[in-house]
Structure 1
Amino acid sequence: MTVTLYHNPDCGTSRSTLALLRACGVEPAVIEYLRTPPSTPELVALLDRMGVPVREILRQKDTPYAAMGLGDPARTDAALHAAIQAHPILLNRPIVVTAAGAKLCRPSEVVLDLLPGRRPAMAAARDDGTAFLRDHRARGDDPDLVEALAAAGLPTADLTDPGRIVFRYTTLDRQDVGWGGFERYGADVLLRSMMVMPWCRRQGGGRNLAALLMRRAYDQGARQAYALTGGPEARAFFERLGFSACDRAAAPAAIRTTRQASGLCPASATLLTKRITF
């Protein structure tokens, strides 16, 4: 299998993706794009393979993105490509290309979507030492899900309603990490049914679960995430992820009228929101 990795060795996510590829028995062709950036025609072809516009692969953090005003929607694709050529750090990473497709692999686990049939070595871990996760689609009436959420004091009455997407999360060696789900309403998404097993709390399990959950929502078209929290510990968790409290009255009507927001969660629950970026 021929695999290409557009890599930044100074990036922890990029290093983790390389480690996960190798754990799957794949030694990719590594392109350190800061040294040898793809030309504009090469990048256009890569974006076509990924199925995304150039704006979606711009990196904002630790780059001249803001200083150059690249968030201005009036900036043309040609201007954005020119900015990447002048400042390759603007190209988000890592990007992986295989016979199955091409993706920006943030979080790193997304690379497994491009390696059908490959099973990574169970001992593999992220660059920061935390466990890689696998997400497995689950049914809303899965008894393990219902039991886990009930034990955590989370609502279960609407799990089988239409539009609910739920995942079970495990480590590579199938240890249960937790559950998470979402309801998407156009570009807005309500994260829900999130719980993490006690053994992996405060060890990156919740953070990594949330990142993978938001990526799945993003790939379906979501761009703004919302979450309802009922206590200070849960609120602090989401705030560490970059969420901030918002007025329920200012939230989109589709979010305000979900069963979670309109009745299943207590009226005292705080609504938080965050723009989904990678």
Structure 2
Amino acid sequence: MNVTIYHNPACGTSRNALAMLERADVDLTVVPYLTKPPTKERLRELSHLSGLTVREMIREKGTPFKELGLDQPSVDEEALLDAMVANPILINRPFVVTPTQAKLCRPSETVLDLLRDWPRQNFNKDDGTPFLEVVPIPGSDDDLHDALVNANLPVDDIEESSRTFFRFQLLDGLVVGYGGYEIHGRDALLRSVCRTEWSAKGIGPSLVQLLLSRAFDDGARRAFVLTEGAAPFFRKIGFNDVDRATAPEAIRSTRQALELCPASAALLSRAITL
């Protein structure tokens, strides 16, 4: 399979995605897009293939995004594309393209979504945390149930509709965690996030980032979480406390909010971006 990666060697996420592609059985083309930027037409094609809006393709951090006035809602798609061609640092990374798909692979593990197969040997990313595989599972999964019970998390509603769950595992298949969410329009309520006894230290943020990326793919652009004991962890990875009274009605009406989590549980939220 022919695969192209628009690569920035200064970006750890891009380096990690490239490392996986080099391990996989693909015919790989590496495009250093900062020196060989894609054309406006190619960027438009990447938007179409990835399902991202042009604005969602732009990187804000560490770029002249605000200085160029691109943060103004009145800036249209054509102007955004022109800015990306003139300033390729604005192109988020890494975009990975196959003959039929394109994906902004953030986190880097999402590059696996584009591959038919990959080596089942474990390896660590630049930050020392392991590369993970995300496996969809039903709410009826016995191992999910047992993991949540062991973590003192609610299980009464996990088999109800509109719940989405995943198993997180190393590339050799060792399960290191679980997580899920409920989608309510553009909002997602994260739930059932836990590690297993085999989980390496520091793996929690990777689990949540992968969960957020899946929620993003399902249309959510803001995440909420109810928690009793893990509020410091979620604050550390970008979540902020929210007054329940100001939360969207759909979030306040979930079983998690109404029944399963005590009134003392903290509600936190953050934007979901790639």
Q: Give the TM bin, normalised by the shorter chain.
A: over 0.9
Instruction: Write the distance in 2 (CA, Å) between the matches of 1:239 and 1:120.
Output: 35
Secondary structure (helix, strand or coil) at the match of 1:134 reads: strand
* 1:56 aligned partner: 56
Instruction: Write the distance in 2 (CA, Å) between the matches of 1:201 and 1:262.
Output: 33
Note if contact 1:23-1:121 (Cα within 8 Å) is conserved in structure 2: no
Secondary structure (helix, strand or coil) at the match of 1:28 reads: strand
**Deviations, residues 123-167 of structure 1 (Å, cap 9, x unaligned):** 332122211111111121211111110111100001011100011
Instruction: Write the distance in 2 (CA, Å) between the matches of 1:67 and 1:251.
Output: 32
**Stretch of structure 1 that moved more, 179-188 or 143-152:** 143-152
* 2:261 aligned partner: 265
Q: Aligned letter for 1:60?
A: E
Confirm or deny that 1:225 pairs with 2:223.
yes
1:215/1:95 CA distance change after superposition, 3 Å: same
Q: Aligned letter for 2:245?
A: A
Instruction: Write the distance in 2 (CA, Å) between the matches of 1:20 and 1:131.
Output: 12
Note if contact 1:24-1:121 (Cα within 8 Å) is conserved in structure 2: no
Please list every run of 5 or more consecutive structure 2 residues that lacks an aligned counterpart in the other structure.
Answer: none
Instruction: Write the distance in 2 (CA, Å) between the matches of 1:215 and 1:51.
Output: 14
Note if contact 2:49-2:100 (Cα within 8 Å) is conserved in structure 1: no
Secondary structure (helix, strand or coil) at the match of 1:211 reads: helix
Note if contact 1:100-1:115 (Cα within 8 Å) is conserved in structure 2: no
Note if contact 2:107-2:210 (Cα within 8 Å) is conserved in structure 1: yes
Confirm or deny that 1:211 pairs with 2:209.
yes
Q: Aligned letter for 1:241?
A: I
* 1:40 aligned partner: 40
Cα RMSD, aligned residues only: 1.3
Instruction: Write the distance in 1 (CA, Å) between the matches of 2:225 and 2:155.
Output: 16
Note if contact 1:226-1:272 (Cα within 8 Å) is conserved in structure 2: yes
Query: TM-score of the superposition, structure 1-length normalised?
Result: 0.95
**Aligned residues, how many?**
274
* 2:6 aligned partner: 6
Secondary structure (helix, strand or coil) at the match of 2:64 reads: coil
Instruction: Write the distance in 1 (CA, Å) between the matches of 2:50 and 2:201.
Output: 34
* 1:255 aligned partner: 251
CA displacement at 1:77 relative to structure 2: 0.7
CA displacement at 1:99 relative to structure 2: 2.6
Give 4+ residue runs of structure 1 displaced > 4 Å after superposition. Answer: none
Equivalent positions of 1:9-20 (< 5 A) are: 9-20=9-20
CA displacement at 1:66 relative to structure 2: 2.3
Query: TM-score of the superposition, structure 2-length normalised?
Result: 0.96
Note if contact 1:196-1:206 (Cα within 8 Å) is conserved in structure 2: yes
Note if contact 2:3-2:97 (Cα within 8 Å) is conserved in structure 1: yes
Identity %: 49
CA displacement at 1:46 relative to structure 2: 2.1
* 1:73 aligned partner: 73
